[in-house]
Structure 1
Amino acid sequence: MSTCTALIIPADLKEPARVETIDAGLETLQTLVAGNIEAVSGDDWHFYLNEEGKILNLPPNRRTAMLVLEKTGMLADVYCGNVVFLGETHDGDEGNVPEHLIDLAQQLFGLEREAA
């Protein structure tokens, strides 16, 4: 198991997006997205969401859509439910979410950071 800094974006707009240190193991990720996980990859980042989010009629995650569109210039899907962004290590393991994603999320919708 690896401990990583993650960007967590709840689908509920009343809940703040946040940066926190998590155990990036399967059980933690499944708890955060409330179900089995599906991965979506970017350049030096990826995110996890509930693989049955649409089937379960989870709310669309508008902040994730905004972040992905701003970062990639395109939106290939509707992302439903809570989302957890992480980065990758050089050998492909889970790693800290890249600072450029945190900075962009802060600019777009603000973030809460855990106490140091």
Structure 2
Amino acid sequence: MNTPCTALVIPARLAHPVHIRSVELDTTALRRVATGEVGVIAGPDWHVYLDSETNRIAAQNLRAEVLIREAGINVEETLHGTALFLGDGQPGEDADVPRHLIRLAEQLFDLPLAA
């Protein structure tokens, strides 16, 4: 059984808003994030799921690139598709996105996200 987690969702398309939502993750749900294989970039207490395909069908995600870099992770490749940020739970498990990432996204994108 999957436990719902609060995720920070950053769509690739700038016309779609950055938002927070409850998600239940399984393989099917993660495949909706990517046009192909699902990739992961890890931070100190968070990780982000996104498109890892080298055949870049999905749009470039500039906002996710900015957030990841501002959170202290050097990303050299271009990121594509929707980015789903979550926290680190027990080994191998997802948890709610850390509050500091939500606050950073609010500052970077000038958006009120926290409830």
Superposition TM-score, scaled by structure 1 size: 0.86
3-state DSSP of counterpart to 1:68: helix
Tell me the number of residue pairs that the alignment of Structure 1 and Structure 2 aligns: 113
Residue 102 of structure 2 is matched in structure 1 by 102
Residue 27 of structure 1 is matched in structure 2 by 28
Residue 8 of structure 1 is matched in structure 2 by 9
Q: Which structure's relative contact order is higher, taking Cα pairs within 8 Å and 6+ residues apart?
A: 1
Runs of at least 5 residues in structure 1 that lack an aligned partner in the other structure: none
Does the CA-based 8 Å contact 2:10-2:17 persist in structure 1? Answer: yes
Residue 39 of structure 1 is matched in structure 2 by 40
Judging changes above 3 Å, is the alpha-carbon distance between structure 1 residues 111 and 59 closer, same or farther for their aligned structure 2 residues? farther
> CA-atom RMSD, angstroms?
1.9
State the 1:35 CA deviation: 3.5
Structure 1 runs (4+) greater than 4 angstroms displaced: none
State the 1:73 CA deviation: 5.8
Superposition TM-score, scaled by structure 2 size: 0.86
Runs of at least 5 residues in structure 2 that lack an aligned partner in the other structure: none
Deviation larger for 68-77 or 100-109: 68-77
Amino acid at match of 1:95: A
Residue 66 of structure 2 is matched in structure 1 by 66
Does the CA-based 8 Å contact 1:19-1:111 persist in structure 2? Answer: no
State the 1:96 CA deviation: 0.6
